[in-house]
Amino acid sequence: MTKKSTPHSSTTTLHIRNMVCNRCIKVVGEELKNLGLDVRSLSLGEAVVGGEVQGALLESVKRALEQNGFELIEDRRIKTIERIKQAILKLVRSEALETEFSGKYSEYLARELSPQPAAASQYRRECHRARDRQRRDLGRERQREKQRSRASPDGKWSAAKAIIF
């Protein structure tokens, strides 16, 4: 949830998971209006409403969304992931792919996430680090397994292996 204040009014951006089509947008809009919120704009994964959404109203929004298969996202990383997903969905559904998308996907995502391109690249770096840690741990486990297979069941090196090595 992102809050923006201007001298004349404040708005809250609600980030919503599982919004994947126009019907989802319609359902979310109806639910938010039923709760008495001033819906300013709706798009896949996002709803901008007038005023602040907090306390009991925030819990009502969460409940209404969950009853319809949606989820209010509050974690910053998950918001970024959802924004990347929505940008990719937008690209896939657009005519850009039909006319052979000629740009770099990373540039496209940077444009679509413009206020937060650094967050997307930070997430990518974190994914690479996690992958590297997994590979390193797997390599260590394989080394340990090799050492265990060289040893006999009683933990001593067998005579034949000792001679070969």
- Tell me the per-residue pLDDT of 75-112, one tens digit each, with 9 for 90 and over: 777 777 777 887 887 777 776 555 556 677 777 777 77
Q: Of 129 and 69, which is predicted with more confidence?
A: 69
Report yes or no on 33 lying in a domain.
yes
Query: What does pTM read for this prediction?
Result: 0.51
Q: Are residues 63 and 121 in the same domain?
A: no
For residue 84, give the amino acid letter. Answer: I
Q: Please determine, for residue 156, whether its predicted confidence score (pLDDT) is greater than 90.
A: no
> Do the domain assignments include residue 157?
no
> Where does a domain end: 42, 74, 106?
74
Per-residue pLDDT at 98: 56
CB 44 within 8 A of CB 19: yes
Place of tokens 């970024």: 80
Position 70 in a domain: yes
Which residues are registered as beta bridge partners of 87? Answer: none
Query: Residue 74: which pLDDT band, with cuts at 50, 70 and 90?
Result: confident
Domain range for 41: 1-74
Higher pLDDT, 132 or 151: 132
Res. 63 pLDDT band, cuts 50 70 90: very high
User: Is 144 part of a structural domain of the chain?
Assistant: yes
69 and 101 inside one domain = no
Q: Is residue 160 assigned to a domain?
A: no
Residue 30 has pLDDT above 80, yes or no: yes
How high is the pLDDT of residue 97?
55
For residues 58 and 94, state if they share a domain.
no
Domain assignment present for residue 93? The answer is: yes
Q: Residues 49, 114: one domain?
A: no
- Lowest average pLDDT, out of 28-37, 52-61, 114-123, 135-144, goes to 114-123
b/e for 83-115, b at 16 or more Cβ within 10 A? bbebbeeebeeeeeeeeeeeeeeeebbbebbee
Task: Give how many domains the chain has, as a whole number.
Answer: 2
The yes-or-no verdict on residue 115 having pLDDT over 80 is no
Neighbours of 48 (CB within 10 A): 16
Q: Quick one: 108 and 120 in the same domain?
A: yes
Residue 140 included in any domain: yes
* End-of-domain residue from the set 28, 56, 74: 74
Q: Are residues 64 and 108 in the same domain?
A: no
136 located within any domain: yes
Query: Is pLDDT at 164 greater than 80 in this prediction?
Result: no
One domain for residues 44 and 20: yes
Taking residues 26-43, what's their average pLDDT?
A: 93
Same domain? 84 vs 62 = no
